[in-house]
Chain A
């Protein structure tokens, strides 16, 4: 509970960094799909540990994220919905 590092969204983490999911923001509801719910169903639930395994080239997209024991590839804007408490 001492001064924790400020929250970052997942897309701002560098390869190899770890953290804990704090919050998943609702995505753009215009296209009808509930991105936040889907991300949570894939395991991006508050309290889960994540690790950035890889970032694609060029432009650091997509990101390969390990959450729990699974690995998912996310595009940058999807990753931006997930707030992380970095370790």
Chain B
């Protein structure tokens, strides 16, 4: 209890186990296997690298905390992720408990690469367990590893694990139980690692490998045969394009039934409340504010989940780095690294994780450009807007027998985002100067089947994030907007709907002066005000604005026919163009602020994106007015 005088400390009630390993070693699958849903995802203090902690109780009844450290090739730390891993494991990171046990996870099929990191960590002198993961795959390939001999050579417990199989973690749990009671050991200084040159470490790896495995040399495998097709100069890009196109079509068609179900459910609930409550302020708040607002955002959860379903599968099976390989030349042409592909693809779901994923880009300038263009990728929060307008204005028609016209328009919006991102990247490359060559060094891991359990946990995580956003920021804003739209009430003998006289109406009418040249009416202008916080809010806001401007029966009916009647086509197209660019997401801007540690870049981002949005919407509006012949 006294002040800490000695480094030799008793271990806390719940010892901390750290999982550490190369990227692609199956570490996160093992983490999921051990902790199940008992995990907490947050960020490391002061940075935005994901910190995954969970807990579990071993068969021996001992409670453990488990930390999933970012993947690393070496503790000499070339990326911010690796710096975190290095500092946490050496007990140097403020606010983090130094681990009591390090579980080094290695891919049993690739000890030649993985063992180097194990030997590095061993020099820190911490209690260690080696988890030979993916032993099932290794066996299937005819690779045998003498775990007992390996344990003897390394001087640490070696267990075999199969993270993607129920019970595949048993041996690791038994090994942890056997180490009980744990004693906390102070790590050796990091200089112990650099004391040995890499060549020497590799010689040691070769020596050990010769003793413990029948590691036959490089004779090609299934992954290479798949790559013959997937990385083929002609077939590869075609497969990539077809895959991306299929994803977008699926987002639009598969999501329809669950979306209808959610919409009917919310509508039914609204009707139920209306039937059972007296007309008044509270009923108005419940039906128009809460149901109309949050309900119409919730409806897009199926689309977001389907999109993440594909992203997670492509990531899990190993396709994403191949896509980066194929796109490297193209990305290099505008000054980006092929590595930027993964952050940018994640940005299709949400720019926030995308911008965070940009941390895997070593070069600061490359990273900055990737961050700056990430919000131009069409994130899933734009889908509600796009879907609403497309459903209202683009006829449901088949093109060429198998594509829908609506799907094609959506595809075009995605392409517009990508093309403008490339243009902006090229511009930044020119202005930020320093056109030095950037390293790629991207691992192309072996392909494997995506695992359902990990997929489900990943989707659940996204679902929680989206719902908590709906539940907190968005709902708060919807209620605020409802209040702004309801007070003050209409005067006696009013000729306009009540909202026209409210605070929101005044604001909207004020903004209309600015937005009239690009075809926005005051209803849209009002919706853009709360829509500054998050894009999807604008849909709920439109719902509220229009629900309140209607009188009587039409209140709860869907927004689509309303806007189809009250907007002209050029206005709708202009709003679509606006949303390709407009930086209407406080979360994105605040993440940029944190990632770049400066106010300059979020301001620059907001400035350039608003300017682009206005110009694009203006051109779209004027050109389509001309084409329509008005």
A residues lining the B interface (CB < 8 Å): 27-28, 30-31, 33-35, 37-43, 45-49, 51, 53-54, 56-59, 61-62, 64, 66, 68-75, 77-78
Contact = CB atoms under 8 A, between A and B. Distances in A.
Interface string B195-220: 00011001100100000000101100
A17 B338 CA distance: 24
A74 B218 contact: no
Given A37-B198, A40-B199, A51-B218, A71 B444 contact: yes
Given A49-B217, A53-B227, A73 B440 contact: yes
A81 to B, nearest CB: 10
Interface of B: 73-74, 76, 78, 109-113, 116, 198-199, 202-203, 206, 215, 217-218, 223-224, 227, 231, 233, 321, 324-326, 328-329, 332, 338, 362-363, 436-445
A58 B330 CA distance: 9
Given A49-B217, A62-B325, A28 B436 contact: yes
Nearest to B141: A69
Contact of A53 (B113, B224, B439): B224
Given A47-B202, A69-B109, A31 B227 contact: no
Nearest to A30: B436
A66 B440 CA distance: 15
Contact of A49 (B74, B110, B218): B218
A37 B77 CA distance: 11
A27 to B, nearest CB: 8
A56 B326 contact: yes
Nearest to A71: B444
Contacts, number: 125
Contacts of A41: 73-74, 76, 116, 198
A50 B112 CA distance: 13
Given A45-B202, A56-B328, A78-B441, A69 B224 contact: no
Given A40-B198, A47-B202, A56-B329, A69 B113 contact: yes
A37 B436 contact: no
A38 B363 contact: no
A56 B206 CA distance: 31
Nearest to B198: A40
Given A46-B199, A56-B329, A39 B362 contact: no
A66 to B, nearest CB: 6
Contacts of B442: 62, 72-73
A51 B325 CA distance: 17
13 contacts: A30-B436, A38-B78, A39-B441, A42-B441, A47-B203, A54-B325, A56-B231, A68-B112, A69-B109, A69-B110, A73-B321, A73-B338, A78-B440
A28 B217 CA distance: 33
B439 A64 contact: no
Contacts of A28: 436-437
Given A33-B362, A72-B441, 8 more contacts: A33-B78, A38-B78, A43-B116, A45-B198, A47-B206, A61-B328, A64-B444, A73-B443
A72 B199 contact: no
A59 B112 CA distance: 31
A73 B217 contact: no
A45 B223 CA distance: 23
A55 to B, nearest CB: 9
A64 to B, nearest CB: 6
A35 B445 CA distance: 21
Given A57-B233, A62-B338, A45 B227 contact: no
Given A40-B199, A56-B329, A62-B338, A74 B440 contact: yes
B113 A42 contact: yes
A34 B439 CA distance: 11
Contacts of B439: 27, 33, 35, 38, 74-75, 78
Contacts of B202: 40, 43, 45, 47-48
Given A37-B198, A61-B328, A72 B444 contact: yes
Nearest to B236: A57
Contacts of B233: 56-57
Contact of B440 (A27, A34, A40, A62): A62
A73 B78 contact: no
A3 B550 CA distance: 90
Contacts of A34: 78
B199 A64 contact: no
Contacts of A73: 321, 324-325, 328, 338, 440-444
A-B pairs with the 7 shortest C-beta distances?
A: A68-B112, A57-B233, A45-B202, A41-B74, A40-B198, A71-B444, A73-B442
A61 to B, nearest CB: 6
Contacts of B116: 41, 43
A85 to B, nearest CB: 16
Contact of B113 (A31, A43, A61): A43
Contacts of A38: 73-74, 78, 439, 441
Nearest to A73: B442
A39 B443 CA distance: 12
Contacts of A37: 76, 198
A7 B559 CA distance: 70
A51 B219 CA distance: 10
Contacts of B363: 31, 33
B616 to A, nearest CB: 31
A75 B437 contact: yes
Nearest to A75: B440
A66 B363 CA distance: 24
Contacts of B441: 38-39, 42, 72-74, 78
Contacts of B203: 47
Nearest to A76: B437
B113 A70 contact: yes
A59 B233 CA distance: 11
Nearest to B228: A54
A64 B74 contact: no
Nearest to B324: A73
B103 to A, nearest CB: 21
A40 B194 CA distance: 13
Contacts of A59: 329
B131 to A, nearest CB: 18
Nearest to B209: A68
A71 B218 contact: no
A47 B201 CA distance: 13
B319 to A, nearest CB: 14
Nearest to B111: A69
A68 B507 CA distance: 65
